[in-house]
Structure 1
Amino acid sequence: MSPHLLCLRPLVAALVFGLGLGTALRPALSAPNVINPDSPTLATPKDKDSGVSDNVTLLENSPKAVVDEVWQLVNQQFVDKDFNHSNWLSKRQELLGRNYQDNAEAYRQIGRILKDLNDPYTRFLSPEEFAILSSQTSGEASGVGIRVLMDKRSSDLVVVDVMRGTPALKAGIRPGDRIVRINGQPAALMSLEQATEAIQGEIGTELSLQLSRPKSGVFSVTLKRENIEIDSVTYNVKEEGELRVGYIRLDEFSSHSAEQMEKAITELNKSRISGYVLDLRGNPGGLLLSSIDIARLWLNRGEIVSTIDRRGGDRHFSANGRSLTDLPLVVLVNERSASASEILAGALKEQGRATVVGTATYGKGTVQSVNTLSDGSGLAVTIARYYPPSGTDINRKGISPDIHLDISNDTKLQFRNDPELMATEIDPQYQRAISVLRQHRHSLGLPPAKDLGIGLLEPSQL
């Protein structure tokens, strides 16, 4: 299985895909350990254009098997049929002519030849890195259903979210609880990454936590790890003077993100809100189809994105007339909004559906296919380039916001130390979004919410 991925994603423990953008705006998740998709059979030369005859016998579990799989996948899929002026044919002969003591040596050589493609997104992933990426894009992981942060002032490990229907919620764990011990070991002696690793584990195994709660003291729980659906969408109603704002934060584009976004919009629509703020700041991307499905929840008509592969194949993806709301929308972006985030922001901006506020996005205009290799490692290969509705090439340029507004370094540091401060009175980008919604409301000639008596009405209901 080779999902199409648009991602510029760093990991808590290891960098697997894209460049090193930080994760400080996202709480660490007590998860990720998943079973990889079924490995494909060992690749053999099938591309008539390759000019390569298979005269090499590859032995099962031999490092050369993985080396040749990588070569074959790049040869068949890479977006540039000239391989960025690299003599790709000679690379196979060079790689298979070597003797490898172990997989680690083979991995180093694979990384070396992939650099010759001059494409940072075509990357080899070790089994450990591939397992983490698989967990992130699947939107599922083994765990108990809590999100944790390190309190910068006290160095305590604090529960910041408890997911619905999970072992943690059933055991009575609440946001604000402080973790004292993990499986008998003092949490105070662990880094955030070490604590996350200690909390995660195999499905069905037990986890012992000792926690403290103000006015309740110290208590202990024993939980059984389950397969957890990770919430990539968080939302709530914010009272901003005369406005009731539906605030939605999207952390990544996983396989469950579209259904979670649909639920968020549906629930917020019931709250008689007057407009939406969609926060894509720091969102590194994810699955291509997830970005398209989410765009369709906001757009009723018009093109969303087009992709072009190495053979010139041109695919167009458009709205399908099933948007859930036509209320005013502001999208927040920054320089760490990448890939799938740029598809969504670009479509909403260019189709006139949303006002985009923030700074220029990262500028990653390519699509990757992620492939499982026979030893559990993986390979991400750039297979296509994508373009917003205007056809503009955003690679290394990004999406320019309608309203350019940066955040001071001091404020960014505050957000890194406490992500809960985002979308509050100290967040200038969010406050500007509120101003845009307020202007939109005034342009419609609507009275303040408190004067309507029966709540806010959508424009289609007026």
Structure 2
Amino acid sequence: MVNRLGDRWRRMGAFLALICTLMATGLIWSSPALALTAEQKLFNEAWRIVSQAYVDESFNGQDWWSVRQKALSQPLPDRPSTYTAIQKMLASLDDPFTRFLPPSQYRSLQTSTSGELTGVGLQISIDPATGILQIIAPIEGSPAAAAGLQPGDLILAIDQVPTQSLSLDEAAEKMRGPAGTVVTLNVARGSGDAAAQNLELTRSRIEINPVVAELRPQEDGHRLGYIRLTQFNGVATEEMAQALQKLERQGADRYVLDLRNNPGGLLQAGVDIAELWMEPGVVVYTVDRKGLLGSFNTTHQPLTKDPLVVLVNQGTASASEILAGALQDTGRAQLVGDRTFGKGSIQSLFDLSDGAGLAVTIAHYETPAHHNINKVGIEPDRTVSLRTPLGINEIASNADSQYQAAIGVLTDLEMVATGV
């Protein structure tokens, strides 16, 4: 009797141990009550995207599974609560470029990269030291350009809402809106020492034509092709190719490519535009979460092999730095201006099932010479700083010392090539 009872308890203990093991490994559920609600499923969807795609497998040194469990143990009664939980989760990564985009902001971002938008026409960034919104550049022909806003100006408030309380996407969303409506910006010039002023801007539809090109005959008989690229959107590659082909037909024999205040955009556009200038080879290396190297390469001959100088400054960022770094490292061009911004990470956009989206850092990149420029930037071959910001009509003029220096570098290159 004692032996039979002991065997029964041993069998029962083994069965309970098996159940506990299955529960711990997630092979069975402990209770039907663990089924996820619709809000929890949306949070879990965002969590899974980051889990599978984010570049840092340590997730900023935290237990990523515990982040999920803690969030799902809290009530998520409605969609705003879910969005807040997703934003809190992403904030724990301490990565300003990995961010949540509600449906309206996600649509706006997709629209801006497609080539047109409705708003005031500003390219903006947030100063990481102060959290204040800063103008990278106004879009030519936009309400912002007509109002005289300049690179480096600070936007302190939008419709009386302090910008330090807004994310970059929230600020951009507040400045967009139907054509004909008015938005009030509280703006301080430069460092912010001057008194801020309120400017009322009337929103309009802005077609983003990212390429400005012009043939400029020089006094020494050369024919300079000047090209300014303002961003890498969905039409940038085609417009760059058309501009370059036209300048070649017009007899251009040297080029200045102006990437100043170009905040970047689509990675593939940067690679495709590099192919218009470079011999076949590596444009950029990517380093994923496993530390494995990938690369984007050019495979075709360039549209021109004429001498090239590239203008850069602190507003040259992301895809602009990929292009500038590739042209510099391969010896295709010399860089003139100021050190670039230093954004060496690559983001990808992911759809959520309710129309929202995530921008997630999926890799870091290195230039062809394996320079990691993140938070460092690219040092130009010739450093030339502007004493005061340029107005729109002063860019690439006699008043533009960086542009004049670029022409000087081209002249020096010609002298070396001819042995003078």
Question: TM > 0.5 between the two?
Answer: yes
Normalization by structure 1: what TM-score?
0.65
- 1:221-232 equivalent positions in 2, closer than 5 A: 230-232=208-210
Q: C-alpha distance in 2, partners of 1:68/1:92?
A: 7
Determine which structure has greater relative contact order: mean sequence separation of CA pairs < 8 Å that are 6+ residues apart, divided by chain length: 1
Are the structure 2 counterparts of residues 403 and 262 from structure 1 closer, same or farther at C-alpha, using a change threshold of 3 Å?
same
- Structure 1 residue 425, shift from structure 2 partner: 0.9
SS at match of 1:118: coil
- 1:110-259 equivalent positions in 2, closer than 5 A: 110-141=86-117, 147-150=141-144, 151-152=146-147, 195-196=202-203, 199-200=204-205, 230-242=208-220, 243-259=222-238
Counterpart code for 1:265: L
- Structure 1 residue 84, shift from structure 2 partner: 1.9
**Would the aligned equivalents of 1:149 and 1:192 in 2 still touch at CA under 8 Å?**
no
- Structure 1 residue 109, shift from structure 2 partner: 2.5
Counterpart code for 2:57: K
Aligned match of 1:383:
362
Counterpart code for 1:437: L
Per-residue deviation, residues 259-318 of structure 1 (Å, max 9, x unmatched): 111111101111112211111111111111111111111001332111121133321222
Matched, 1:438 2:404: no
Q: C-alpha distance in 1, partners of 2:267/2:49?
A: 20
- 1:51-450 equivalent positions in 2, closer than 5 A: 56-60=34-38, 62=39, 64-141=40-117, 147-150=141-144, 151-152=146-147, 195-196=202-203, 199-200=204-205, 230-242=208-220, 243-408=222-387, 411-412=388-389, 415=390, 418-445=391-418
- Structure 1 residue 251, shift from structure 2 partner: 1.2
Structure 2, gaps ≥5 residues long: 1-24, 122-139, 150-177, 186-197
Q: C-alpha distance in 2, partners of 1:380/1:314?
A: 22
**Would the aligned equivalents of 1:240 and 1:434 in 2 still touch at CA under 8 Å?**
no
Q: C-alpha distance in 1, partners of 2:207/2:52?
A: 34
Q: C-alpha distance in 2, partners of 1:376/1:186?
A: 27
Are the structure 2 counterparts of residues 293 and 266 from structure 1 closer, same or farther at C-alpha, using a change threshold of 3 Å?
same
SS at match of 2:231: coil
Are the structure 2 counterparts of residues 57 and 322 from structure 1 closer, same or farther at C-alpha, using a change threshold of 3 Å?
farther
SS at match of 1:258: helix
- Structure 1 residue 187, shift from structure 2 partner: 10
**Would the aligned equivalents of 1:114 and 1:123 in 2 still touch at CA under 8 Å?**
yes
Q: C-alpha distance in 1, partners of 2:200/2:27?
A: 47
Are the structure 2 counterparts of residues 284 and 184 from structure 1 closer, same or farther at C-alpha, using a change threshold of 3 Å?
closer
Q: C-alpha distance in 2, partners of 1:397/1:427?
A: 25
Q: C-alpha distance in 1, partners of 2:263/2:280?
A: 26
Are the structure 2 counterparts of residues 72 and 424 from structure 1 closer, same or farther at C-alpha, using a change threshold of 3 Å?
same
Q: C-alpha distance in 2, partners of 1:298/1:231?
A: 20
- Structure 1 residue 58, shift from structure 2 partner: 4.2
Counterpart code for 2:217: E
Per-residue deviation, residues 340-380 of structure 1 (Å, max 9, x unmatched): 11110001001000010011111111111111212222111
Q: C-alpha distance in 1, partners of 2:41/2:403?
A: 51
Q: C-alpha distance in 1, partners of 2:315/2:182?
A: 34
SS at match of 1:285: coil
Are the structure 2 counterparts of residues 295 and 192 from structure 1 closer, same or farther at C-alpha, using a change threshold of 3 Å?
farther
- Structure 1 residue 439, shift from structure 2 partner: 2.0
Counterpart code for 2:142: V
Per-residue deviation, residues 202-221 of structure 1 (Å, max 9, x unmatched): xxxxxxxxxxxxxxxxxxxx
Counterpart code for 1:234: V
Q: C-alpha distance in 1, partners of 2:42/2:230?
A: 33
SS at match of 1:83: coil
Q: C-alpha distance in 2, partners of 1:443/1:93?
A: 65
Higher-helix-fraction structure: 2
Q: C-alpha distance in 1, partners of 2:180/2:406?
A: 46
SS at match of 1:85: coil
Q: C-alpha distance in 2, partners of 1:192/1:136?
A: 23
Counterpart code for 1:118: D
SS at match of 2:84: helix
- Greater shift after overlay, 228-237 or 117-126? 228-237
SS at match of 1:286: coil
**Count of residues in correspondence between the two structures:** 332
SS at match of 2:265: strand
Q: C-alpha distance in 2, partners of 1:194/1:52?
A: 56
Are the structure 2 counterparts of residues 249 and 114 from structure 1 closer, same or farther at C-alpha, using a change threshold of 3 Å?
same
SS at match of 2:60: helix
SS at match of 1:315: strand
- Structure 1 residue 193, shift from structure 2 partner: 8.0
Normalization by structure 2: what TM-score?
0.71
Bigger radius of gyration: 2
